[in-house]
Structure 1
Amino acid sequence: MEDEARLLLVEDDRRLAAMLEQVLQGEGYTVDVALDGQRGLHLGLTRSYSVIVLDRGLPGIEGLDLLGRLRSKGVVAPALVLSALANPADRVAGLDAGAEDYLSKPFDLDELAARLRTLRRRAHGPAPSVLPVPGGTFEVESRRVVRADSEERGLSEREAALLGLLARRPRQVFSRSDILFQVFPDVSDEGVVDTYVYYLRRKLGKSAVTTVRGAGYRLGEL
């Protein structure tokens, strides 16, 4: 399984959530558990996930409402709905709300794991070699930003990793802890994130990275 396999599990049944957390950790995921829709929304908007698993009958915010809110805010992580509501109309409602898959309870753990692997393979696909960024394009392999006036700016490996993370999900807000987890896994001080945001702004302009007060950073407006 690829690195950075982080999973958000939103399930209000504490016993089931604890069991799934243990099983999914065994599959190689770093699992964040939310026991209600409000917590699920907060985590989904402030951290980046490889995949999301959520129930429908959640306290606080109903599961499909939660998924719709995440999608409206630019969260694109593939989602699997895990629900006791299993008739065709329920499945259609889940898929229409933005889920990529729907598995009814009771379920087989091996099937759940296989479906999650499939979702992750589909989501990764071939990585783009050129990404749009404010004022130009980012050439991933060469770690260069080519500005609209054809001026080029070379980036360090860590600067390029940070810009790539933001540029691949330009509408998503990444918390400092999430950026640290994905770009600087060997560092424990979140201050390094602010330092590298400063480096990017110094090279590419202040508008390259937007600060979202109280939440973190996202790519600047394209």
Structure 2
Amino acid sequence: MRGERPNRLLLVEDDDELAGLLTETLVYEGFVVDRAADGQRGLHLGLTRTYDVLVIDRKLPALDGLDLVARLRSRRIPARALMLTALGTVGDRIAGLDAGADDYLMKPFDLDELSARIRALCRRTSDSANVLRIGAGRLDLTPRDAVLADGTRVALSAREFELLRVLAAQPSTVHSRAELRRRVFDEAAAASIVDTYVYYLRRKLGRAVIRTVHGLGYRLGGL
């Protein structure tokens, strides 16, 4: 990793022996690895922590690998996903890719090939690191513009940008007003400043860009 932030990886695999071997290999290569032995645990980790790459077995207890990937994609989790499977038909591969996987590797596989595929996914993640998806649109971190679904660029003020960036970085998370005030604004400011800037962003980008979760706060919407 040459001094950079290590890539974070979520491994969802119910074969304990294989999971241990993969974890040992990936940690040796510099990854920070979290493990889950079933789909439900994998879903929880995928929704509550930030990963660069997901390695997910096709056949999992509690929640199937296809359903897991599809649910993560439905919550706009952007991490690249590699699906492991013993099912090798073209239909199975198509199903995995249609569910939202970025790559598909048949069991048994060579560890060197798995590592190479994960590195390739990490490079793709790095290439898109300056963009946060917001529905059909995006937030460009340089030059700090919002881009609508039709390609229209909308310039944002520094605080508008930072508020939207915080929400877009964790699209499935509901953020309280107190948390957003702490992370984006001077804590001495009135709590209503968060509502004011939500209003500004909705006026520029449309009401759907930020969703109000009544009694809790705000979460990302779409463009």
Distance 1:151 1:118 in 2: 33
How does the TM-score come out when normalised to structure 2?
A: 0.68
SS at match of 2:108: coil
- What's 1:87 paired with? 89
Question: Could you tell me how far apart the structure 2 residues matched to 1:130 and 1:89 are?
Answer: 31
Q: Which structure 2 residues correspond to residues 199-218 of structure 1 after superposition, within 5 A?
A: 199=186, 202=193, 205=197, 218=219
Alpha-carbon shift at residue 126 of structure 1 (Å): 5.2
Q: Which residue of 1 aligns with 2:101?
A: 99
Q: Which residue of 2 aligns with 1:50?
A: 52
8 Å contact 2:167–2:220 — kept in the other structure? yes
CA RMSD in angstroms comes to 4.0
Partner of 1:184: none
CA distance, structure 1, for counterparts of residue 217 and residue 19 of structure 2? 28
Whole-angstrom CA distance in 2 between matches of 1:216 and 1:44: 22
Whole-Å Cα distance in 2 between the matches of residues 216 and 82 of structure 1?
38
* Shift >6 Å, 4+ stretches: 129-132, 142-145, 191-194, 207-213
Residue matched to 1:164? 165
Q: Distance in 1 between matches of 2:69 and 2:132?
A: 29
CA 1:43/1:221 → structure 2, altered by over 3 Å: closer, same or farther?
same
Does the 8 A contact of 2:70 with 2:99 survive in 1? yes
Q: 2:12 aligns with which of 7, 10, 20?
A: 10
Specify the code of the residue in structure 2 equivalent to 1:164: R
Q: What residue number does 2:28 align with? A: 26
| Count of residue pairs the alignment pairs up | 195
Taking the aligned partners of 2:41 and 2:180, their CA distance within structure 1 comes to 24
**Is the 8 Å Cα contact of residues 4 and 50 (structure 1) preserved in structure 2?**
no
AA at the equivalent of 1:205: Y
More RCO (CA 8 Å, sep 6+): 1
Do the aligned partners of residues 80 and 126 (structure 1) sit closer, same or farther apart at CA in structure 2, a change above 3 Å counting? closer
1:124 and 1:91 map into 2 onto residues whose CA distance is 25
Q: Secondary structure at the match of 1:205?
A: helix
Structure 1 gap ranges (5+): 177-190
Q: CA deviation at 1:101?
A: 0.6
Q: Name the CA shift for 1:194/1:17 in 2 (closer, same or farther; >3 Å).
A: farther
Distance 2:128 2:99 in 1: 26
Match of 1:195 among 182, 188, 209: 182
Using the TM superposition, give the Cα deviation of residue 87 of structure 1 relative to its aligned residue in structure 2, in angstroms: 2.7
Instruction: Tell me, in whole angstroms, the C-alpha distance in 1 between the residues paired with 2:35 and 2:26.
Output: 11
Distance 1:212 1:61, change over 3 A: farther
How far off its partner does 1:3 sit?
1.7
Is 2:107 aligned against 1:108? no
Give the secondary-structure state (helix, strand or coil) at the position aligned to 2:114.
helix
Matched-pair identity in %: 48
Q: Deviations over 1:153-195 (max 9, x none)?
A: 445xxx95x853543x57x22599xxxxxxxxxxxxxx98872
Given the alignment of the two structures, is residue 219 of structure 1 paired with residue 223 of structure 2, yes or no? no
1:173 corresponds to: 172
* TM-score with structure 1 setting the length: 0.68
Q: How far is the alpha carbon of 1:81 from its aligned partner? A: 0.5
Aligned-partner SS, 2:25 = helix
